Amino acid sequence: MVGRAAPLPFPLLQEGASMEDEKLVISSLIVEAHPEAVPAVTEALAALEGVEVHEVNGYKIVVTIEAPSTGASHEVSSRMVAIPGVLNVNLVYVNFEDETLG
Amino acid sequence: MELTRRAFVKSTAVALASAAAAGTMAGYSSLAGTGADSAALAGDTVKTVGVCRFCGCGCGVIVEAKDGKVISVTGDPENGSSRGLNCVKGYYLARALYGEDRLTKPLIRDDASTKGTPDGLREATWEEALDLVAGKLRDTWKADKSRLAFWGSGQQPIVEGYCTAKFWKAGLLSNNIDPNARLCMASAVVGFMNVFQTDEPAGCYADIDETDVFVTWGANMAEAHPMLYSRLTARKLADGNVRHYDVTTMTTRTSASADKVITFRPGSDIAIANAIANYLIVNDKYDHDFVADHVQFKQGTENLGNATDDGYDKSDIGQAVDNVEPIDFDAFAARLAPYTLEYAAEISGVPAEDIQELAEVFADKGRKVLSLWTMGVNQHNRGTWMNHCIYNIHLLTGRYARPGDGAFSLTGQPTACGTAREVGTFSHRLPADLVVKNPDHRRYTEAIWDLPNGYLDAIETPGFHTVKMFRELSKGNIDFLWSAHNNWAVSMPNLTRFLGKGDLAGINDAFICVAEVYPTLSCQYADVVLPATMWVEREGAFGNGERRTAVFEKAVDAPGEAKWDLWMLMEIAKRVLAGEQIGGEDAFDHLFGAWYDADAAAFKGTDREVCASIWEEYRTFSNPSLNPDAEAINAEAKLKMEAKQLAPYEEYIHNHGLTWPVREVDGKWLPTLWRFCDGKQEDGFDEHGVETYGAHDKAGGVSFYKSADQRPSVVFRPYEPPAEEPSEEYPFWFSTGRLLEHWHTGSMTRRVPELARALPEALLDVNPADCERLGVTDGDRVRLTSRFGTCDITVSTAGRTRPPEGMVFAPFFAEETLINLVVQDTYCPLSKEPDFKKTCVSIEKIEG
């Protein structure tokens, strides 16, 4: 059973902001799942706001998170940990230049 | 983010993760820099090699900086420990540098009565702050040096720890220096020393990829060592025959991969381990050849009682805890004989057939077994003994120091091994496993530090271990305390006592200097706060749990007036040692002049040059041929110091980390992955060590050449009960620990403003049946009370851990909850490491 995650406690997209001036943290992760749970986990991951599934390599699912801050990104990754069938969530790359350069 | 830049960053992100998933992650720079206009899109950025700032896994990261700020981090595929992966704490690596409340100016407290409040600190110049700290330290030192102390950390980078130890031990001739590693690794350290006479794991992380059966003992790897747990689950998924036994006091996320969860009554793990050893002997399922070739048997002092009272260490029993005597195999077997499966089942609550099943796992020589353990074993009133008991099983079955077949103590902090243990920032240690009480060790250290013969005899008696240090502080017997890279006001057990809830005089009268990056709770007790550089704001090196030393390069400047801890140390040492002499020379110049210009108040060179200069001196401890006097002492006293050989500094830069011993073969420096295991050095085996000191053709293809008589010790250790057990007044076991989101006391991972809303507070995980009995439900506030103290906390039945009935768990990161007000400061009598896992508490609902 894959449940939809509860709404995030803060908006992922800032209302009224255009794509150009929107602050964005982009990260990529490898989510590892029980092999039999991979289809359901993939679906649940794709349903998370700001998450895109890019490829599935065996039990490893390659995803990106686009969120307005590292905290919001981390929150999304924490939700991944809680999806039934997920064994690990590995962070590969995170870019937060909008956050640190201001 | 501008659209084309966004597309570029995202495609980089996808390419890197895709390559990492395929196990073909190439160098980051090549991926980021392809394409005609990628240079323009990539912008003017600089990439440096780093190591994660958080746990003991020691994952490599590539840090990208622009305009003096870190803008991205990537798992470093060339780091042999992590191979391109990080856990989600990696999100905070750079964000932790940029918290809004970062300390950027020295702070001074003029009125000690404001201690324990957020107020009372004012900004000061560095000159004023350094003069004040150095003046207090010098006054204390001159008056009574038993009343000064330094509390360091397994987070203090290697060269910084080395210089601190050198200042304290050689400069001040004081052993009152101890690290917070005492709270997490000390039992493992004493176990290593007692069993192998060398403080190091024989195995490495690659054992995880090669084993057939995992046994986790008191370890929640999924939360505390996520990258290694990822390797564990990968190994299980790659081979359906791989098994995992989780031996634990409560169900955790680590239990998710277990084929069998063996839940035992707190403290009874020694009875289980002894029953396994007994079963192996009684049923003749131990490895006769391995035992004959490699093992010696011992027994030691027993009926230790508990180190709860201040007088324990000096009591008759307290002074006898380290004693052992040799026994033969038959005597050892006779000591184990009472530990039948049934007896262990009675003590532990684990069914006898489950213990037998685990014993059969060790008996099956057709399969490799890897034991992994962390704080459940170490933070234990018999923590050293439980380390012994695990090695006993592995040595009896010939499962040690062989690829995939071993016993591996996991470490908690990024450089608990590299600094606290290898450098030796403990109250009884000198660098490189040497101890203050051994005259040969003192002579050897004097040779490398160029001290007059006998100079270090003044420190032959160990100083205050951590709990003792804070007990003395609370009693008013410490006049000067300097702490760095830790947050003792949150992490120490029995804070009810140490934060002066009983007697404020101790903490108010002592002069306390805290070097920090954020205003932690410890700063509220400081007389002076020194703002420190953090992580990649200077160069440094960490030594992780698998003997891997890795350098993190400087990537950006520190904010404001924050300064390198090493600079603070040099400036304070310069002031304290002014006018002092060593061997007829200015004391400060004699100790630190090679890399610091006292008159200019500046280092002699760049961060890289300074670190390399200090490293080369430190490296002499494990390369005695670099110093003729040391070489002579090493040969005469048979110290085998080169057996832990470290490489020249630049090798670590080129290789993104190396596991020691690192051997020079045909001009190349080759690391060792499997210590004491015979085989080719090129393949990671200990060819050079076995050839030089050991013997080939011994059972198992291993040779324990660092151990006395080349034989590790199997020591009988009986089950003795926890310091306290649930009673009518305090009916619950209370265990504390770490969860994935927050690292240690959260002083770095809790800096992001939205965390307060988004991430959980510290919750008390309670079994639903206990909730019903207590009349509480999720979200209710309860008061937790032990005979040590009280705190209030929120109940959860949906937390990450699932304690059995009669037990509760909470993480220790949250200063607003401060669970350590409740936790006992009883420690293992041998290692002096506190038992954070077995305080007995009552739980009362707070109405309203």
- For residue B221, what is the domain's CATH number? 3.40.228.10
Q: What angle do CA B804, B806, B812 make, to 5 degrees?
A: 80
Task: Say if residues B815 and B369 touch (Cβ distance below 8 Å).
Answer: no
For residue B661, whether the previous peptide bond is cis, meaning omega lies within 30 degrees of 0, is: yes
pLDDT band at A44 (very low <50, low <70, confident <90, very high): very high
Across the beta sheet with B324-327, what order do the strands follow?
A: B324-327, B296-300, B713-716
**Alpha helices, H only, B596-666:** 607-620, 628-636, 649-655
Specify if B627 maps to a domain. Answer: no
Is residue B261 located within the same domain as residue B288?
A: yes
- Burial (CB < 10 A; 0-12, 13-18, 19+), residue B161, is buried
Position B753 scores a pLDDT of: 53
- For residue B16, what is the domain's CATH number? 2.20.25.90
Contacts of residue B419, Cβ cutoff 8 Å, sequence gap at least 6: B152, B153, B154, B156, B157, B158, B160, B161, B162, B179, B425, B542, B543
Contacts of residue B696, Cβ cutoff 8 Å, sequence gap at least 6: B678, B690, B703
Specify if B197 maps to a domain. Answer: no
**β pairing state of B602-603 and B596-597:** antiparallel
Decide which of B656, B680, B714 is a domain's last residue.
B714
Position B16 scores a pLDDT of: 94
Instruction: Say whether residue A73 is in contact with chain B using an 8 A CB cutoff.
Output: yes
Position B201 scores a pLDDT of: 96
What is the C-alpha separation between B190 and B60, in angstroms, rounded? 29
In 3D space, the residue among B199, B625, B590 whose CA is nearest the CA of residue B417 turns out to be: B199
| Three-state DSSP class for residue B840 | strand
Position B814 scores a pLDDT of: 83
Lookup result for tokens 């966004």: B6
Domain count, chain B: 5
Beta strands in B250-313 (DSSP E): 260-263, 296-300
Residues lower than pLDDT 50 in chain B: 29-37, 754-758
Query: Is domain A25-100 in CATH 3.40.50.150, yes or no?
Result: no
Comparing CB atoms, the residue among B16, B71, B87 nearest residue A97 is: B71
Specify if B201 maps to a domain. Answer: no
What are the structure tokens assigned to B452, written together? 């007059």
List the single best residue of A31, A45, A88, A89 to mutate versus B (max B Cβ within 10 A): A88
Q: Do A30 and B2 touch (CB under 8 A)?
A: no
Beta strands in B672-806 (DSSP E): 713-716, 732-737, 763-766, 781-785, 790-796
pLDDT band at A8 (very low <50, low <70, confident <90, very high): very low
Is residue B590 located within the same domain as residue B494?
A: yes
- For residue B832, what is the domain's CATH number? 2.40.40.20
What are the structure tokens assigned to B480, written together? 């000067």
Q: What is the ipTM of this complex?
A: 0.88
The residue type of B174 is S
Contacts of residue B128, Cβ cutoff 8 Å, sequence gap at least 6: B106, B108
pLDDT band at A7 (very low <50, low <70, confident <90, very high): very low
What is the C-alpha separation between A11 and A75, in angstroms, rounded? 12
Specify if B623 maps to a domain. Answer: no
Task: Say if residues B569 and B538 touch (Cβ distance below 8 Å).
Answer: no
In 3D space, the residue among B325, B321, B353 whose CA is nearest the CA of residue B720 turns out to be: B321
Is residue B356 located within the same domain as residue B426?
A: no
Q: Do A92 and B20 touch (CB under 8 A)?
A: yes
Specify if B460 maps to a domain. Answer: yes
- Domain range annotation of chain A: 25-100
- For residue B613, what is the domain's CATH number? 3.40.50.740
Is residue B258 located within the same domain as residue B364?
A: yes
Position A17 scores a pLDDT of: 44
Distance from chain centroid for Cα B175 = 20
Task: Say if residues B596 and B614 touch (Cβ distance below 8 Å).
Answer: no
What is the C-alpha separation between A86 and A37, in angstroms, rounded? 8
Contacts of residue B333, Cβ cutoff 8 Å, sequence gap at least 6: B278, B281, B282
CB-CB neighbors (< 8 A) of A29 in chain B: 17, 88
Position B747 scores a pLDDT of: 75
List the single best residue of B3, B11, B14 to mutate versus A (max A Cβ within 10 A): B14
In 3D space, the residue among B238, B548, B516, B557 whose CA is nearest the CA of residue B411 turns out to be: B548
Contacts of residue A26, Cβ cutoff 8 Å, sequence gap at least 6: A64, A65, A66, A94, A95, B1, B6, B9, B10, B13
Residue-number span of the structural domain to which B392 is assigned: 206-413
Is residue B670 located within the same domain as residue B751?
A: no
Mean pLDDT within A17-44? 86
Distance (Å) from the alpha carbon of A74 to chain B's nearest alpha carbon:
6
